[in-house]
Amino acid sequence: MSSSHSQSVEVHEEGVKARVGLWLFLLSEILLFGGMFLLYSMYRYKNPGDFHAGSMELSRFDGTLNTLVLLTSSLTVVVALHSLHVKRNKRRAAIFLGATIALGLTFLVVKSFEWTAKFEHGLYPGAKFLESQPHGFILFFGLYFVMTGLHALHVIIGMAILSFVLNFVLRDKVTADRINIMENGALYWHLVDIIWIFLFPLFYLIS
Amino acid sequence: MDEHGGGVAHPHNHYPWYTNEGKRAGLRGFLTSTNHKRIGTLYLVPILTFFSVAVILGVLMRIQMLSPDSKFLTGTRYNQIFTLHGVIMIFLVVIPAIPTIFGNFFLPILIGGKDMAFPRLNLFTWYLYILGAFILLVSLLTGKGPADTGWTFYVPYSLRTTVNVPWAVFGVFILGMSSILTGLNIVTTVHMERAPGMKFSRLPLSIWGIYATAWVQVLATPVIGITMVLILVERFFGIGVFDPTKGGDPLLYQHLFWIYSHPAVYIMILPAMGIISDIIPVFSRKNIFGYKTIAFSSLAIASVGSLVWGHHMYVSGQSNTAGVIFSLLTFLVAVPSAIKVFNWVATLYKGSIKMDAPFLYALGFIALFSIGGLTGLILGALSTDVHTHDTYFVVGHFHYVIFGGMGFGLFAALHYWFPKMFGKMYNEKTAVVAFIVLFVGFNVFYMTILILGWAGMPRRYYSYLPQFTDLQRIATWGSWIMVGGLALMFGNLLHGLFRGRKAEDNPWGGATLEWQISSPPAEHSFAETPVVTHGPYIFPDRTSDGNGNGDGAKEKHEQQPQSKR
């Protein structure tokens, strides 16, 4: 029928529109973090030694673990998308979406252990110990907490979005033919992942 | 929204967009509507209200300056008032005004689309705007009163002052989010919602202006968002990035602030330039001169304008090399601006000009913006800036560009599109008188401010040396004349809204799509999707476009006999 055809064209157009909008939004997110990367590069350029000393205080094991967790979560979200879009397997899509959210949660748990350890060592803004350190060292931890904190906030938002998507998948509001919400949720999740890919070497692997 | 198939006549489609029928009744019908015309109007009312409030704050400052030892305001109060004036004008009026009011109302109509790309997001964006405004209001009424930092919130003072900086900064952050989403919606709409035949080369120039602006909104606003967040984090947790006692560098704050706030000046002026480019050809009955150069100069201003922020910081201690580069780029950005001015003037040449109110405001724009632009070159040059930095000269320059430019552009748009939006006509004679009063008052006021600045009067002082008394008084009197002109203009528009005669569908003889539909437009602007076959400034009553350029103009000429004017 022509009406069902025009309907599917409309659904397609809505999908393209939503994707254009989301890419613009991702661009603005990148610039949001861009402001802080600018601060980071200036302060690191001015205080290379202190930044190295600060980096030595971070747990490379935790950082590497979290990098692997987030990379895996990017894989699972793509598998979920593929399962629904190509294989039309709703159950598998739901399982992999659930896995993605669980990996996000794992990331946050590891992160909270890391932060707690820093707090115990007096390595947080306003702590007496940190204030007594050289300027570059203070700045390193100031930036560390703001940047990883803002990133963690994005992880939480991403998990909330994926939970909505999961809910939609289970209730058949997102299907193989109406997939754009899920696609966009996955794109957002990739952004969260990519930002971490930059944060990890900048904070954990300075030499 | 109402779903309907084609073919049958739909009575609801003939109701004007503001109809009060059924679920669209009353204020609630407005506050829940995703219709772009209603949302545009939802912005119009608060923006003009905030504008009036900020004008009154400006008048208070001018009263303080009537004498050098005036006791009208205390120093702190004066600081708070100029901060409020700046914050309200910049973040609540000048940045959002044209993209949100006219972008919403006319962008979909001018490109022949149904609505904005994301209607629901559009309504959400309005609520964010209102939330941001509300938070600014909270900063006024709670704690130790409104911020006294100036609209720039420079650190380290904004970290130390005990007045209500955090709320003000948070309000600006929310308004920034609103601005990003506006830009996102506009870019997507221009790309996705154009009618068949509406190629980019046939877009009205107002749309080019708003489109270029939208990109700046999306790409530059996040930077001020994060900067405002950093002020909050710095104040509450003391992370040190802007705090010199912990190794932070206040200069980096200035960089981050101006990385947004200089492009923001182009967010303010570009849409107005676009609208002027729409108005000039209509009232000259002539195709625009140099369509392509005007369109691309908008993009050039948007891109080069994003790289000139350092010219706000010549005396801040940044390196001389940086100063020279920023100065060079600043001079470069004057080129596309000048291209526009020359093209507008060239369009007027040999046009058959009708001196109606919208056109007068457009002419006012060209005159005042040119003065603003030329004084900008004085400030953009390193050596002269050292002497004029932080004086009234900067204040005068900025108000010539933004009030004389964006403000007059906004007024031009209001007079140009008023009959279309509301289907009513204002009194033309009163509009002309109001323009003349406004224009005279403006120049008496701000020209005196420029002279005062050149003579060395620093800005943001609540007092001054006795030798400036005469000029300060002239400026204040000028401001009163100007406010009189504003009052007459708004009064005339309000009178037109309620008592005006009914407007025709095409009172100015415009050729863009909004003039092909009824005044006021129906809820769904177009009964059928229009098909666009020529450029936006091809007037049927004129057989020659005067310049021999513009899309579709040539085909039209071949069909019609050439006649001499």
Q: How far apart are CA B273 and CA B358, in angstroms?
A: 14
CA distances from B466 to B94, B388, B457, B469, B513 (A): 34, 20, 11, 5, 57
Task: Output the average pLDDT for chain B.
Answer: 90
What sign has the CA pseudo-torsion B487, B490, B493, B495?
negative
Which residue in A20, A28, A40 has the most chain B C-beta atoms within 10 A of its own C-beta, making it the best mutation to test that interface? A28
> Each residue's pLDDT tens digit in chain A (207 positions)?
445 566 667 777 888 999 999 999 999 999 999 999 999 999 999 999 999 999 999 999 999 999 999 999 999 999 999 999 999 999 999 999 999 999 999 999 999 999 999 999 999 988 888 888 999 999 999 999 999 999 999 999 999 999 999 999 999 999 888 889 999 999 999 999 999 999 999 999 987
Predicted confidence at residue B9, as pLDDT, reads: 41
Does ipTM exceed 0.85?
yes
For B560, the 3-state DSSP assignment is coil
Per-residue pLDDT tens over the stretch B378-393: 999 999 999 999 999 9
Give the nearest partner residue to B218 out of A27, A126, A139, using CB atoms: A27
For A127, the 3-state DSSP assignment is coil
Find, in chain B, the residue whose alpha carbon is nearest to that of A50.
B247
Helices (H), B305-407: 320-348, 357-380, 382-388, 392-401
Query: Cβ of A16 and B192 within 8 Å?
Result: yes
With a pLDDT cut of 90, the percent of chain B lying above it is: 80
DSSP conformational letter for B404: I
Query: What is the pLDDT averaged over residues B286-299?
Result: 93
Predicted confidence at residue B328, as pLDDT, reads: 95
Query: Cβ of A125 and B192 within 8 Å?
Result: no
Predicted confidence at residue B287, as pLDDT, reads: 93
Interface of B with A in 219-238 (CB under 8 A): 219-223, 225-227, 229-230, 233, 237-238
Predicted confidence at residue B17, as pLDDT, reads: 87
Single-letter amino acid, residue B118: F
| Domains recognised in chain B with CATH numbers | 17-532 (1.20.210.10)
Mind telling me how many Å the CA of B540 is from chain A's nearest CA?
Answer: 35
> Cβ of B498 under 8 Å from any chain A Cβ?
no
Query: What is the pLDDT averaged over residues B54-70?
Result: 95
Paired strand residues for B424? B502
CB contacts of B226 in chain A (<8 Å) are: 32-33, 35-36
Find, in chain A, the residue whose alpha carbon is nearest to that of B248.
A139
**Can you spell out the DSSP letters for B163-221?**
SSHHHHHHHHHHHHHHHHHHHHHHHHHHHH-PPTT--GGGS-HHHHHHHHHHHHHHHHH
Per-residue pLDDT tens over the stretch B154-192: 988 999 888 889 999 999 999 999 999 999 999 999 999
Per-residue pLDDT tens over the stretch B69-108: 999 999 999 999 999 999 999 999 999 999 999 999 999 9
Give the nearest partner residue to B247 out of A28, A139, A145, using CB atoms: A139
Res. B274: pLDDT tops 80: yes
Give the nearest partner residue to B192 out of A20, A126, A136, using CB atoms: A20
Query: Cβ of B227 and A126 within 8 Å?
Result: no
Mind telling me how many Å the CA of B458 is from chain A's nearest CA?
Answer: 32
Mind telling me how many Å the CA of A91 is from chain B's nearest CA?
Answer: 31
Query: Cβ of B226 and A35 within 8 Å?
Result: yes
Least confident of A56-70, B327-341, B548-562: B548-562
> Cβ of B184 under 8 Å from any chain A Cβ?
yes
Query: What is the pLDDT averaged over residues B332-340?
Result: 93
Find, in chain A, the residue whose alpha carbon is nearest to that of B192.
A17
CB contacts of B248 in chain A (<8 Å) are: 139, 142
Find, in chain B, the residue whose alpha carbon is nearest to that of A39.
B252
What tokens does B240 get? 């040190």
Predicted confidence at residue B563, as pLDDT, reads: 43
Which residue in B122, B184, B267 has the most chain A C-beta atoms within 10 A of its own C-beta, making it the best mutation to test that interface? B184
Predicted confidence at residue A11, as pLDDT, reads: 73
Per-residue pLDDT tens over the stretch B420-469: 999 999 999 999 999 999 999 999 999 999 999 999 999 999 999 999 99
Q: How far apart are CA A101 and CA B424, in angstroms?
A: 56
Query: Cβ of A35 and B188 within 8 Å?
Result: no
CB B258 within 8 A of CB B312: yes
Q: How far apart are CA A185 and CA B337, in angstroms?
A: 41
CB B462 within 8 A of CB B64: yes
Smallest CA-to-CA distance from B535 within B288, B277, B271, B209 is with B288
> Cβ of B218 under 8 Å from any chain A Cβ?
yes
With a pLDDT cut of 70, the percent of chain B lying above it is: 93
What tokens does B23 get? 């679920």
What sign has the CA pseudo-torsion B182, B168, B263, B462?
positive
Q: How many CB atoms lie within 10 A of CB B63?
A: 15
CB B54 within 8 A of CB B88: yes
Find, in chain A, the residue whose alpha carbon is nearest to that of B215.
A24
Query: Cβ of A125 and B121 within 8 Å?
Result: no
Res. B545: pLDDT tops 60: no
CB contacts of B225 in chain A (<8 Å) are: 32
Query: What is the pLDDT averaged over residues B14-18?
Result: 81
The CB-based long-range contact list for A71-80 (8 Å cut-off, 24+ gap) reads A71/A193, A72/A103, A73/A99, A73/A100, A73/A103, A73/A104, A73/A107, A73/A189, A73/A193, A74/A189, A74/A190, A74/A193, A76/A100, A76/A103, A77/A162, A77/A185, A77/A186, A77/A189, A77/A190, A78/A186, A80/A182, A80/A186
Q: Kindly tell me the burial class for residue B19, based on how many C-beta atoms sit within 10 Å of its own C-beta (0-12, 13-18, 19 or more).
A: middle
Res. B551: pLDDT tops 50: no
Least confident of B139-143, B518-522, B524-528: B139-143
Smallest CA-to-CA distance from A136 within A41, A38, A46 is with A46
Res. B349: pLDDT tops 80: yes
CB contacts of B252 in chain A (<8 Å) are: 38-39, 42
CB B159 within 8 A of CB B242: yes
Query: Cβ of A138 and B247 within 8 Å?
Result: yes
Predicted confidence at residue B539, as pLDDT, reads: 85
Predicted confidence at residue B6, as pLDDT, reads: 38
Query: Cβ of A125 and B237 within 8 Å?
Result: yes
Q: How far apart are CA A24 and CA B122, in angstroms?
A: 15
pLDDT band per the 50, 70, 90 thresholds, residue B396: very high
Mind telling me how many Å the CA of B179 is from chain A's nearest CA?
Answer: 11
Q: How far apart are CA B166 and CA B271, in angstroms?
A: 31
The tokens 């979920």 sit on which residue?
A: A80
> Cβ of B251 under 8 Å from any chain A Cβ?
no
Q: Kindly tell me the burial class for residue B216, based on how many C-beta atoms sit within 10 Å of its own C-beta (0-12, 13-18, 19 or more).
A: buried
Smallest CA-to-CA distance from B287 within B1, B551, B2 is with B551
| Domains recognised in chain A with CATH numbers | 2-204 (1.20.120.80)
Mind telling me how many Å the CA of B492 is from chain A's nearest CA?
Answer: 40
What tokens does B79 get? 């600081």
Q: How far apart are CA B325 and CA B309, in angstroms?
A: 11
Query: Cβ of A28 and B180 within 8 Å?
Result: yes
Helices (H), B305-356: 320-348
CB contacts of B192 in chain A (<8 Å) are: 13, 16-17, 20
Give the nearest partner residue to B256 out of A16, A38, A139, using CB atoms: A38
Give the nearest partner residue to B191 out of A20, A35, A134, using CB atoms: A20
Mind telling me how many Å the CA of B231 is from chain A's nearest CA?
Answer: 12
Q: How far apart are CA B547 and CA B143, in angstroms?
A: 61
Smallest CA-to-CA distance from B263 within B90, B471, B433, B138 is with B90
Query: Cβ of B255 and A38 within 8 Å?
Result: yes
CB contacts of A45 in chain B (<8 Å) are: none
> Cβ of B68 under 8 Å from any chain A Cβ?
no
CB contacts of A139 in chain B (<8 Å) are: 240-241, 246-248
Question: CA-CA-CA-CA torsion for B308, B310, B313, B317, nearest 10 degrees?
Answer: -160
CB contacts of B222 in chain A (<8 Å) are: 28-29, 31-32, 34-35
Angle at B250 between CA B247 and CA B251, to 5 degrees: 115
Find, in chain B, the residue whose alpha carbon is nearest to that of A144.
B239
Query: Cβ of B221 and A131 within 8 Å?
Result: no
CB contacts of B118 in chain A (<8 Å) are: 17, 21
Q: How far apart are CA B258 and CA B308, in angstroms?
A: 9
Mind telling me how many Å the CA of B82 is from chain A's nearest CA?
Answer: 28
What sign has the CA pseudo-torsion B135, B140, B143, B147?
positive
Give the nearest partner residue to B240 out of A42, A142, A150, using CB atoms: A142
